[in-house]
Amino acid sequence: MATTEFSTSIQPCSPQGGFVNEPFTDFKAPENARQMQAALAAVASQLGREYDLTIGGQRIKTEAKIHSVNPARPAQIVGVHQKADAEHAEQAMQSALHAFESWSRTSTAERVSLLINVARIIRARKFEFCAWLTFEVGKNWAEADADVGETIDFLEFYAREVLRLACAKTPIQLPGERDELLYVPLGVGAVIPPWNFPFAIMAGMTAAAIVTGNTVILKPSSDAPTIAAKFFEVLEEAGMPAGVVNFCPGSGATFGNAIVEHPKTRFISFTGSKTVGLEIHERAAHTQKGQIWIKRTILEMGGKDTILVCADANLDAAADGVVASAYGFSGQKCSACSRAIVDGSVYDTFIEKLRERVTKLTVGDPAANHNLGPVINKSALDSMLRYIETGKKEGRLIAGGHAPATADGGYFLEPTVIADVAPDAVISQEEIFGPVLAIIKVANFEEGLKVVNNTEYGLTGSIYSTDRAKLDRARRDFHVGNLYFNRKCTGAMVGAHPFGGFNMSGTDSKAGGPDYLLLFTQSKSVAEKL
């Protein structure tokens, strides 16, 4: 493996090691805007390229293909990908098992060096990767930049965290013994990322697995395989040995299930819908012939996230936070605010402030940097429109509600607000995963706190209040994995906001936090009598 010299800021046994979150790009600066436009033009010239499966370093073509399209212009093909099927599952597993024999014994320093190398390459090509995100999943410039920045953060943060694990010590050293605690890799894992953060989440799950010594079968979303292919190219450029990551876009029902059920699969790292996550959990729990371990599932499955606006809140700040949380990336975030619960004494005033802001948002091609780009595909758009029709019966349409027609047939939807919604209404309970916000009126803070906890999810939430007693009560009783005070409920930052939820939001895996790498390891206690 080709390695680079360690960054002098990263020292063994120091998890901080100089880690700083990647700064956001200011696209109001003319030079940054120019570079982004140049990147969009450069990437546009590469659209439609075909990408191979890569298993153990071997390039493979299949008869069946996956065509990734630009959701803003569905006739525009972003990438053509091979479609791994059940027949490729065993080949990928054997490749990953073979690579595990050497990769699991590779020094921590070499594995860290790989991640630092990858981060360096991505940082140098940040605008290019932003452009790929704009074309493949419809992110505007700021959303794409945040995705790329988080990718770099995951790589840098996990590189430092694995050094901390490598220096772990037992709490007690018995007299006359040398007592050690070792964190050893699990084995071969399936990494199944989502389409909505197709760079950061995909790269973060993969990086956590391989930096701890595991090998991976990577099955990206069929809506965003090109970003994963570009990341795989960077892994190879950075010096990753063949077979450490095996790039396998494919069918979830065939290839995905075959990998999840394989007796040699040691763990499954998944981000996506509750339905698919629970199915993976169930399949993984069923012991296969020849299986000698309990498979580990690391699951993040979405949310029905709430912002509670109290009577004493700064209403302008609250309206800004709700709009940013509800409509960033067209609401296609598991952390997005899909419910605003508002104290009745400020309800009408808050709705007017919200309406003013929402009507100023623009919808259009993200390459032109509109506030809202397209939703991911036609199926998603149709589902959102059905929810809006239900919402019109359950509440009062305040803004939006339509899918504007475009010459290119893009999957666009106006930012939608539906007020006067009951806490148990369909649009108050079910994850819509789009730019649709329900407003719920409550009598007071106590009632609001009950409503915020009335769904099966528990991912993110926020409360706007200037009353310290209310914030302290929310800290204890607002039951979500990521809670925010007087700020939006999206935009978790690696290191500062370890991310993962309660209840049906998943296994509370806390990506970007000090516990995350533990999920990809098993601890081994070694005691030697002196």
63: CB partners within 8 A, 6+ apart: none
Whole-number Å distance between alpha carbons of 193 and 79: 18
Tokens of 392: 């019109």
Q: Are 72 and 404 spatial neighbours (Cβ–Cβ below 8 Å)?
A: no
Beta strands in 390-471 (DSSP E): 396-399, 416-419, 436-442, 457-458, 460-464
422: CB partners within 8 A, 6+ apart: 394, 395, 428, 440
Identity of the residue numbered 87 = E
Identity of the residue numbered 119 = A
| Catalytic hit among 300, 394, 414, 431 | 300
What's the number of CA atoms in the CB half-sphere (13 Å) around residue 147? 31
Q: Are 223 and 78 spatial neighbours (Cβ–Cβ below 8 Å)?
A: no
Identity of the residue numbered 520 = F
Q: Are 176 and 530 spatial neighbours (Cβ–Cβ below 8 Å)?
A: yes
Work out the burial of residue 224: count CB atoms within 10 Å of its CB; fewer than 13 is exposed, 13-18 middle, 19 or more buried: buried
Handedness of CA 186, 191, 193, 198 (dihedral sign): positive
Beta strands in 385-520 (DSSP E): 396-399, 416-419, 436-442, 457-458, 460-464, 482-485, 502-503
Strands 460-464 and 305-309: parallel
Name which of 122, 149, 130 is nearest 232 in CA terms: 122
Determine whether 489 is an active site residue: no
| Catalytic hit among 334, 394, 431, 489 | 334
Q: How many CB atoms lie within 10 A of CB 181?
A: 13
Q: At what angle do helices 315-327 and 347-358 cross, to 10 degrees?
A: 50
Determine whether 334 is an active site residue: yes
- Please identify every residue annotated as catalytic: 300, 334
